[in-house]
Amino acid sequence: MYHNPVMLHESMEGLSVKPGGVYVDVTYGGGGHSRAILQRLDENGKLIAFDQDEDALNNKIDDPRLTLIPQNFAYITNFCRLHGYTQVDGILADLGVSSHQLDMAEKGFSTRFDGTLDMRMSQKGERTAAAVVNTYEKSALVRIFREYGEIDNASKVADAIIRRRSEQPITTTAELMDTITLYAPRTRENKFAAQLFQSLRIEVNRELDVLKEMLSQTVGLLKPEGRLVVLSYHSLEDRLVKNFMRSGNFEGVVEKDFYGNPLTPFKLVVRKPITASEEEMEANSRARSAKLRIAEKK
Write down the pLDDT at residue 268.
98
Residue 19 pLDDT: 98
SS3 222: strand
Give the separation between CA 167 and CA 214, rounded to whole angstroms.
41
What does the CA dihedral 204, 231, 114, 111 come to, rounded to 10 degrees? 100
User: What is the percent of the chain with per-residue pLDDT over 90, rounded to a whole number?
Assistant: 85
- pLDDT, position 80: 98
Q: Parallel, antiparallel, or unpaired for β 22-25 and 88-94?
A: parallel
pLDDT tens digits, residue range 45-100? 999 999 998 778 888 999 999 999 999 999 999 999 999 999 999 999 999 775 55
Residue 151: predicted pLDDT = 96
Does 128 score more than 60 pLDDT?
A: yes
At 23, which helix (H) or strand (E)?
strand 22-25
* Cβ-Cβ contacts under 8 Å for 58 (sequence gap 6 or more): none
pLDDT of 147 > 80? The answer is: yes
Residue 256's Cβ-side half-sphere holds a number of Cα atoms within 13 Å equal to 4
Average pLDDT score over residue span 137-146: 98
Q: Tell me how far apart the alpha carbons of residues 123 and 121 are, in angstroms, rounded to a whole number.
A: 7
Mean pLDDT for the stretch of residues 192-220: 96
Q: How far apart are CA 132 and CA 144, in angstroms?
A: 10
Instruction: Compute the average pLDDT of residues 100-111.
Output: 55
pLDDT for residue 53: 83
Cα–Cα distance measured from residue 39 to residue 155, given in angstroms and rounded to the nearest whole number:
50
Report pLDDT for 56.
Answer: 80
